[in-house]
A and B are shown apart, each in its own frame.
Chain A
Amino acid sequence: DVKVTQSSRYLVKRTGEKVFLECVQDMDHENMFWYRQDPGLGLRLIYFSYDVKMKEKGDIPEGYSVSREKKERFSLILESASTNQTSMYLCATRDSPGGGYGAKNIQYFGAGTRLSVL
């Protein structure tokens, strides 16, 4: 059973603070993702990582950065938090890419971190 753990369920931060959201997985998956979930907008990809020390921008990377120093851990960093970054943040993992269709295209999600920036 895939386990994706996000370190905090709820966070309250002040505008301008540097914020770290942590995600740890125990399935040795190479790919990890950070999304934000907002009502009416669905899930939007912030950043993803194919492997250790590799990262790719998603659809809405502005104001965020990421770190992947170890395979099992993927951190999302808000360099200077702003009120428009108040949201639910979801981490996900996926097994290494394979050709074509199959189970390797399934993503497994953490429980989420609800961040409020005041």
Chain B
Amino acid sequence: AQRVTQPEKLLSVFKGAPVELKCNYSYSGSPELFWYVQYSRQRLQLLLRHISRESIKGFTADLNKGETSFHLKKPFAQEEDSAMYYCALPSLQGTSYGKLTFGQGTILTVHP
């Protein structure tokens, strides 16, 4: 069964500090991975996906198949980055195709 683990429920950093939100996965096959973000009083939305290899709002994430990780990084955190972050893994097989498995979520707080 596929699984996504985010080991940190809470993460606090100061503005301007680097931040890394951890995500590990288990999946039999070649995975596709996403990071979703939920700002206060807003809906859950896609932040980035690994196949795009893009930087969104200064965040990047690299898929490391050897370590089965997809950590989200930003070199200089901003207060507006404070939010709940979820790592997610879609099923690409069988009758569950497209179904997303989410991690437990990490609440990031960036202090001024």
Contacts and interface: CB of A to CB of B under 8 A. Distances in A.
A3 B45 CA distance: 12
Interface of B: 6, 9, 32, 34, 42-46, 49, 51, 86, 90, 92, 95-100, 102-105
A42 B98 contact: no
B86 A105 contact: no
Contacts of A40: 9, 104-105
Contact of A109 (B44, B92, B97, B105): B44
A92 to B, nearest CB: 8
Interface string A93-118: 01001001110111101111000000
Nearest to A6: B43
A58 B102 CA distance: 13
B69 to A, nearest CB: 17
Nearest to A94: B98
B45 A42 contact: no
A45 B43 contact: no
Contacts of A112: 43-44
Contacts, number: 56
Contact of A48 (B6, B99, B103): B99
Given A42-B6, A112-B44, 8 more contacts: A33-B99, A40-B9, A56-B96, A102-B51, A105-B98, A106-B34, A107-B46, A109-B44
A25 interface: no
A41 interface: yes
A100 B92 contact: yes
Given A101-B32, A101-B51, A41 B98 contact: no
Nearest to A106: B46
Contacts of A104: 98
Q: Among B9, B49, B95, B98, which residue has the most Cβ atoms of chain A within 10 A? A: B98
Given A97-B97, A105-B90, A41 B104 contact: yes
12 contacts: A42-B6, A42-B103, A42-B105, A43-B100, A43-B105, A45-B100, A58-B99, A101-B92, A104-B98, A109-B45, A111-B42, A112-B43
